[in-house]
Amino acid sequence: MTLIPTTEPSIGKNMEHTPFAAHKTRVVDGTTPLLFQPKTPTALVYCEGNFGLIDGKTANGLVRHSEKYQILSVIDSTQAGSDTGEVLDNKPNAIPIFGNLEEAYSNAPSKPDFLIYGIAPASGRLSPMERKIVLNAIGRGMNIISGLHEFLNDDPEFTAACKANNVEIIDVRRPRSKNDMRMFSGNIHNVTCPRIAVLGTDCAIGKRTTASILTKALVERGVKAVMVTTGQTGMIQGSKYGVALDAVPSQFCAGELEAKIIEAFEGEDPDIIIVEGQGSLSHPAFCTSAFILRGSVPNGVILQHAPMREHRCDFEQMKMPTPQSEIQLIEAFSDTSVIGLTINHENMTDSEIDMSIAEYQKMLGIPVTDALSRPTELLVDMLLTAFPVIGEKLVVSAQ
């Protein structure tokens, strides 16, 4: 039998937000079809002045993990010439940083399919300079991925440019039609596997990263773990089950998350579901954590904290809460328990990480680790201590 590859899925107008997910086949002589994986779309990530910093969390996350796009390079003139892995984790990953779009484009092995806006600014909008960069990318035939609160498809200048260049903009945060949104039903109680929410004491503190590492580590040890994402970065990374909760009207937040968790449970039959947190329950500017606790009804919570962060991200007048106060608030607000604490080691030496882990374990009486700088086994053990039934599945899978 001769196998003739089908045409690559189109990259441009009318493209779905989940491209290239299915295998493509073509049978020439009527015998059993063969399968092959279509090309992974390529992307440049714009993160001017923010790569490796708090507001660069989308770019940071994509460099560490992306199921949907092959990340070619990052654009940030303040870090130009560096390796992104060295900047983030002191481990080179061969994804370079260039000073501008022109350099990143010209150094790509072929025309990049996408420009991803990799910053999460407090304003949620493009600056005048960034508008020019996006239009430049469109003019070069690149599609745009935006996780901003500002929907670029609503802008006549952008839509005209897309039409002229046969490309499209994907506004990741755009919610479903209100007519299609789900309210909380209570059917979350039919989800029989444990649900773990990874929450934090602040926004942009590493909740998604910890949740991703935990999910991957569990899968590698034979546990069928599924992650449900709740923000734009996880969705851009390729999450199968996700919703940008901060763009959903509050009346539907708990219901939309509940529905996604039920979809994951029914679609994957998992042993455990890990739910990404947003903001923090005590933060007055970000209320999404409340909806995550209500919508997921978690059996346990892992709390992420940055010991050296003195004030809330973007709110210098607001001091950081202590892990103790956040745990008390979470357990008072929801019928759940905080089963462990994870450390964000920003501005910390290795010895300071060790000291914080030891101090918090003694103070809180729960397991403490750092998901990025310490062995992932410690993160898995944190979960197994609270849910030994998951450990039984590990034993069974190993036999």
Q: Above 50 in pLDDT, residue 395?
A: yes
d(CA 146, CA 132): 15
The token pair at 343 is 């450390």
Is the CB of residue 269 less than 8 Å from the CB of residue 224?
yes
Distances (CA, A) of 275 to 16, 198, 291, 330: 25, 6, 12, 15
Are residues 364 and 234 both part of a single domain? yes
Confidence of residue 343 (pLDDT cuts 50, 70, 90): very high
Q: Which of 171, 201, 229 is the last residue of a domain?
A: 171
Mean pLDDT of 24-52: 70
Are residues 215 and 162 both part of a single domain? no
Helices 288-296, 250-268: axis angle to 10 degrees equals 40
Is the CB of residue 292 less than 8 Å from the CB of residue 234?
no
d(CA 65, CA 245): 21
Task: Please tell me which of 16-20, 117-121, 218-222, 264-268 the model is most confident about, judged by mean pLDDT.
Answer: 264-268
Amino acid (1-letter code) at residue 117: Y
- CATH number of the domain at 344, please: 3.40.50.300
- CATH number of the domain at 57, please: 3.40.50.720
Count Cβ neighbours within 10 Å for each residue of 294-322 and write b for 16 or more, e otherwise: bbbbbbbbbbbbbbebeebbeeeeeebbe
Are residues 239 and 259 both part of a single domain? yes
Are residues 138 and 258 both part of a single domain? no
Is the CB of residue 336 less than 8 Å from the CB of residue 344?
no
Are residues 357 and 249 both part of a single domain? yes
Are residues 369 and 222 both part of a single domain? yes
Which structural domain range is residue 203 located in? 179-398
- Residue range 347-372, pLDDT digits in tens: 999 999 999 999 999 999 999 999 99
The token pair at 333 is 């607000």
Establish if 1 belongs to a structural domain. no
Q: Which residue has the higher pLDDT, 116 or 28?
A: 116
Q: Which of 119, 151, 171 is the last residue of a domain?
A: 171
Q: Secondary structure of the chain in the HEC alphabet?
A: CCCCCCCCCCCCCCCCCCCCCCCECCCCCCCCCCCECCCCCEEEEECCCCCCCHHHHHHHHHHHCCCCCEEEEEECHHHCCCEHHHHHHCCCCCCEEECCHHHHHHCCCCCCCEEEECCCCCCCCCCHHHHHHHHHHHHCCCEEEECCCCCHHHCHHHHHHHHHHCCCEEECCCCCCHHHCCCCCCHHHHCCCCEEEEEECCCCCCHHHHHHHHHHHHHHCCCCEEEEECCHHHHHHCCCCECCHHHCCHHHHHHHHHHHHHHHHHHHCCCEEEEECCCCCCCCCCCHHHHHHHHHCCCEEEEEECCCCCEECCEEEEECCCHHHHHHHHHHHCCCCEEEEEECCCCCCHHHHHHHHHHHHHHHCCCEECCCCCCHHHHHHHHHHHCHHHHHHHHHHHC
Q: Above 50 in pLDDT, residue 6?
A: no
Q: Which of 148, 171, 194 is the last residue of a domain?
A: 171
Are residues 156 and 202 both part of a single domain? no
Entry pTM: 0.85
- Residue range 95-108, pLDDT digits in tens: 999 999 999 999 99
Overall domain count for the chain? 2
- Residue range 240-293, pLDDT digits in tens: 999 999 999 999 999 999 999 999 999 999 999 999 999 999 999 888 999 999
